[in-house]
Amino acid sequence: MVSVQLIKVTKKFGNVIAVNNVDLEIPDGKFTAILGPSGGGKTTLLYLIAGIYKPTKGRILFDGRDVTHLKPNERNIGLVFQNYALYPHMKVYDNISFPLRLARKPKSYIDKKVKEVARMLQIHHLLDRYPGQLSGGQQQRVALARALVKEPSVLLMDEPLSNLDAMLRLRIRSELKRLQRDLGITAIYVTHDQSEALAMADKIVVINNGVIQQEGPPNEVYRKPRNVFVATFIGSPPANVFPAKVDLTEEPCVILSSGKFCPRGILAERLRRLGKDTVLVGFRPEDAMLRDKPGHNGIVMEGEVYTVEPLGREVIVTVRVDGSLLKVLAPPSTAERVGKTVYLSIPRDKVMLFDPDTEENLAFID
């Protein structure tokens, strides 16, 4: 187990800057998720850590030791790819033992290690089969076993669950989390699935356009998004964000079609300092309540029910407020009808305000 540090790392492919001047600390023995949309730079970041790509600029350290110019096999890492990349002509036993044979370990040691890791991942009864004779979930475990058999100090995973069906993904994700915890290994996990990152990681690193947008524990990234990108990438449904006018003539207030919202404290100060006549207002779907009558606290907006989506445990109600469609998570007993007039009520401490140009959250800028 080691910590990983990236110092001002940039990776260019021709004119494309896939990873742009990234500073990052991956903690020792923890589960870190690299989360972002397609093309955001996740895989490039992982391959830089693995040593498959060399940085165009910057340095990579493992436990303080510069590994920037070391090859993948000199870094003591285990890699699991999205498509597993198992050798089809080799039995499971030979697939798992491959890295140890490459390292010319004694036969008895190899046999002991393969059986140990196969038992841990509950594939010991499959050692005699070929990959083609396994289910997707079993192949995934074999790939994981092959990565773990060398006892790597860092386990790198690139969307390892994306080829599995939804049920299996849920099961394996909790097993993987438990396994990482039991082994105490430093794990780095690339995913575009925000729910996977929230569920599994000790630390989430959100990346877009090759730039880190935010890093922190799942709860912090969820509750305190630093910008509109993070707020609307994380959460299901994600945060609602819509533009509104600002009145700065007296105390700074956000003008809404039905009334106004005047923030207090630091948020009021920052809205005044921003000095712009519009702002982006945001809130999470679970933080709003639907009422039949207007309330007084926080933000209250009148709207019309646009769609109702019952999901069993909760109901997603989409409400049209002025030009925006806003989503609210309501309890299963909700009996809203399409076309009905409702009032959205968002408590004051759940309202987020973003700079309309930089899209940064006013609560977290200096």
**Please, what is the minimum distance in Å from the beta carbon of residue 44 to ligand ATP?**
3
Residue that the structure tokens 């790509």 belong to:
53
**Please, what is the minimum distance in Å from the beta carbon of residue 357 to ligand ATP?**
24
Please, which residue, 116 or 193, has the CB nearer to ligand ATP? 193
**Please, what is the minimum distance in Å from the beta carbon of residue 155 to ligand ATP?**
18
Please, which residue, 51 or 303, has the CB nearer to ligand ATP? 51
Task: Answer for the pair 157, 80: CB distance below 8 angstroms, yes or no.
Answer: yes
Residue 93 CA to residue 115 CA, distance in Å, equals 9
Please, which residue, 23 or 269, has the CB nearer to ligand ATP? 23
User: Residues interacting with ligand ATP, by CB under 6 A?
Assistant: 13, 16, 18, 36, 38-44, 192
Please, which residue, 45 or 198, has the CB nearer to ligand ATP? 45
Task: Specify the pairing of strand 31-35 against strand 57-62.
Answer: unpaired
**Please, what is the minimum distance in Å from the beta carbon of residue 85 to ligand ATP?**
15
Pull the structure tokens for residue 240.
Answer: 């609602």
Task: Kindly tell me the number of DSSP H helices and DSSP E strands found in the chain.
Answer: 9, 20
Please, which residue, 38 or 333, has the CB nearer to ligand ATP? 38
Pull the structure tokens for residue 130.
Answer: 């070929």
Residue 253 CA to residue 193 CA, distance in Å, equals 36
Please, which residue, 13 or 109, has the CB nearer to ligand ATP? 13
**Please, what is the minimum distance in Å from the beta carbon of residue 310 to ligand ATP?**
32
Phi first, then psi: what are they for 116, rounded to 5°? -60, -50
Residue by residue, DSSP assigns 206-251 as EEETTEEEEEE-HHHHHHS-SBHHHHHHSBTTB-EEEEEEEE-SSS
**Please, what is the minimum distance in Å from the beta carbon of residue 158 to ligand ATP?**
8
